[in-house]
Amino acid sequence: MVSNGKAAARPAASGARTARKAVRIEGVRAASPDKSISHRAIMLAGMAQGTSQIEGLLESADVLATAGAVRALGASVERTGDGHWQVTGAPQWRSPEGDLDLGNSGTGVRLLMGAAARFDLTARFTGDVSLSSRPMERVLAPLRLMGVTTSAADGGRLPVTLNGSARLNAIRYTPPVASAQVKSAILLAGLGAEGETVVIEPEATRAHTETLAPLFGADMSMERDGAGLIARVRGGKALHSADMHVPGDPSSAAFPLAAGLVAGTGPVSVTGVMTNPARFGLYEVLKTMGADMTITPAGTRAGEALADITVRPGALKGVEVPPEIAPSMIDEYPILAVIAAFAQGVTHMTGLAELRAKESDRLAASAALLAANGVKVELGEDSLTVHGMGPGGVPGGGLVKTLHDHRLAMAGLVLGLGAKEPVTVDDVAMIATSYPGFFDDMAALGADIG
């Protein structure tokens, strides 16, 4: 066993990188483990009685920050091998000795606030510069209704001090913004509330907490309500340990598959990709664009269906992307914008206001990424229009300013693989927060990134 419980040292890519038109882009890669489920697995196991074995955990900077925070709250969180983690829970979390620094992880900090809320403890949550600029009040407001007291920096931002309670009130709550993070924070807090806590979503978001928590013994359920979802949890039931294997991340899989679509010389396959409908919006849009894509069922993991996805290069068409699909692909708009640049015709995306509250103003930054490389774009308050230039038609030659956003960095590099001239991304260090295997996977497919 690795005694310090940390991932083995791995040199992190940093500084500027340049992507050039590739001679060959084809091959097969296994999907990177899902980040959202990795966070939740560590937290739930950390609250459970007994020892859980988690296989295929994503060892990214974000997930490692969550692991460190759960350890500081009293659980034993140890790495026993590559992607294999053993978590012995602490059914009563304690006040940590220092700040809980979640780095760049919005999922980690928001969900952990909810998980910690149900214990008699005081914790101060911090993060990096990017995370400290993001809104936290959307999570803090419902937690206060449940009986938690909080203090935050101006605008409801980090650092946040949270005083939890083992005697929380159950609530019935409709989030003002569609957010799986807000929903999950409430549900995790509701594990310790008296009675039934209900979250009503007019637009359904990813339901990983609702799927995963029952594996650990939680009395949690969900039901569809038209386009929405109603999630319920009855507090007071003790959690037990569980062994699980983390499924592949459809958000990370989007980058090698996009490279296959815009720069491929043959088929590109990613295996073991989770196909949860609340995470699969990008792939539905790609179908409407005419992508040559095969999706083959490949079993299940942790209650989630998997598939092997193969794409082949070919002509794509511009499409209208409706606002109602946004919750199922909120992280994929930067790479969709890049794919749209290589399509024939105009792609119009609406309902994107939430992108302005991500690691960067991701909406404006996606527009700037394309404009800097010769693609005509039109930016609205909650919309983006991309005028496609056809296969091989993107000029490139520009500099992508990532603004500390991992998805912009990866999208910019994929753009460079298909553009006429090399594309430089100003910093790639943050890619390790979500997809530490990105450069290895892209190199194995033949990408020229140096």
User: What is the arrangement of strands in the sheet containing 244-245, beginning at the earlier edge strand?
Assistant: 76-81, 84-88, 51-55, 244-245
Residues forming beta bridges with residue 149, ordered by sequence position? 163
Residue list, annotated binding site? 35-36, 40, 106, 134, 179, 181, 331, 358, 362, 407
Pair 370, 412: CB distance under 8 Å: no
Pair 444, 30: CB distance under 8 Å: no
Write the single-letter amino acid at 38: S
* pLDDT value, residue 358: 67
Residue 225 to residue 46: CA distance in whole angstroms: 32
* pLDDT value, residue 9: 35
DSSP at 331: T
* DSSP reduced 3-state for 67: helix
Report the CATH superfamily, name and number, of domain 17-34+248-449.
Answer: Enolpyruvate transferase domain (3.65.10.10)
Residue list, annotated binding site for phosphoenolpyruvate? 35, 106, 134, 181, 362, 407
Pair 206, 191: CB distance under 8 Å: no
Model pTM score: 0.92
The ranges of the chain annotated as CATH 3.65.10.10 are: 17-34+248-449, 35-245
Q: How far lies 264's CA from each of 310, 356, 369, 391, in Å?
A: 11, 31, 21, 11
Structure tokens at 298: 């490949």
Q: How far lies 33's CA from each of 60, 249, 280, in Å?
A: 10, 5, 15
Pair 289, 316: CB distance under 8 Å: yes
Q: Position of tokens 């890519």?
A: 13
Q: What is the pLDDT along the chain (450 residues), one digit of tens a residue?
A: 233 455 543 445 779 999 999 899 999 999 999 999 999 999 999 999 999 999 999 999 999 999 999 999 999 999 999 999 999 999 999 999 999 999 999 999 999 999 999 999 999 999 999 899 999 999 999 999 999 999 999 999 999 999 999 999 999 999 998 899 999 999 999 999 999 999 999 989 999 999 999 999 999 999 998 889 999 999 999 999 999 999 999 999 999 999 999 999 999 999 999 999 999 999 999 999 999 999 999 999 999 999 999 999 999 999 999 999 998 998 999 999 999 999 999 999 999 998 887 667 899 999 999 999 999 999 999 999 999 999 999 999 999 999 989 999 999 999 999 999 999 999 999 999 999 999 999 999 999 999
Residue list, annotated binding site for 3-phosphoshikimate? 35-36, 40, 179, 181, 331, 358
Topology, domain 35-245: UDP-n-acetylglucosamine1-carboxyvinyl-transferase; Chain (3.65.10)
- Is the alpha carbon torsion for 72, 405, 85, 304 positive or negative? positive
* pLDDT value, residue 2: 31
A 10 A CB-CB count for 383 gives: 16
Pair 222, 232: CB distance under 8 Å: yes
Give catalytic residues, as residue numbers: 331
